[in-house]
Chains A and B, each alone.
Chain A
Amino acid sequence: MLEQQPDIFALIPQRPPIMMIDTVIDASDNHIVTQLTIQEDNIFVENNIFHEAGIIEHIAQSAAAFAGWQTYNSGQPPRIGYIGEIKNCHIHALPKQSHQLQTHLQLMAQAGDVSLVQTQTTANGHIIADCQMKISLKAQ
């Protein structure tokens, strides 16, 4: 666990209403652990349920936060990243408003500006999604 949680606004370029991470609780050169508590006004909540698109956006922003963490201490602003590919993304269950999501992201490989990551997401401790994703960072 990180002794001091980083400022999420310095880690990812996304802003409200589409910020889908609250905190980063652990991070290293090859992994990150992010959290999100689903609020009532979250744009992906409908009828109390947090939809699949929201889960996938939270996962994508966890990848963005991982990229941001690599340059966090350099003082540079976070680079914009785009989803290049999603593969084998299983949604096991949809969480509800007030549930806390946690995503463990592992870096599997990197080639230039493209990172391949494997993730697992829980909601209040229950596994709700597994996903493999490729993120391309925008050229600086």
Chain B
Amino acid sequence: MAYILPSFYSIQSSSTENEQTVFRICLNDNCPVYEGHFVDEPVCPGVMSIQMLVECASRVAQKTLYIDTIKQCRFYALMTPKEHQLITAHIQLTPQDTSLLLSASIVANEQTLLSLKALLTEQPSILS
């Protein structure tokens, strides 16, 4: 399984209960992305939080998954590497006809920062 963003986060542990897996994650405030997002004000890029959830889902499914559709993704509060060093990612995957429905959220300091509903696929179309 291949993952991008290796320096953005690291998984400390995970546990599964009632079809939901919770990943305990450490954000890395030295990630080079913060040089540009934003200068003098590090903020986790929303798309990287989404990708992190997709990668956690890939671990649960034990195969590399790709985004087919984001049905809805809501950002409730900014996530920053300084304020949110430890976060939890909550992952629930439900098989659909030809895809997997991901319901996921990121929680930190008892606050939900992000909620995501997306359809994931094992076989994305690649433009030739």
Interface residues of A (CB under 8 A from B): 13-19, 43-44, 46-47, 49, 51-54, 56-57, 60, 80, 82-96, 99, 123-124, 126, 128, 131
Contact = CB atoms under 8 A, between A and B. Distances in A.
Nearest to B116: A86
Interface residues of B, number: 34
B92 interface: no
B49 to A, nearest CB: 10
Nearest to A20: B47
Contacts of A47: 2
A15 B35 contact: yes
Interface of B: 2, 4-5, 32-33, 35-39, 41, 43, 45-48, 50-51, 54, 66-75, 78, 124-127
A88 B35 contact: no
B32 to A, nearest CB: 6
Given A80-B41, A82-B78, A96-B126, A90 B36 contact: no
- Chain B interface helix/strand/loop/mixed: mixed
A44 B37 CA distance: 15
Contacts of A83: 46-47, 75
Which interface residue of A16, A53, A92 has the most chain B CB atoms within 10 A? A53
B37 A14 contact: yes
A19 to B, nearest CB: 6
A13 B38 CA distance: 7
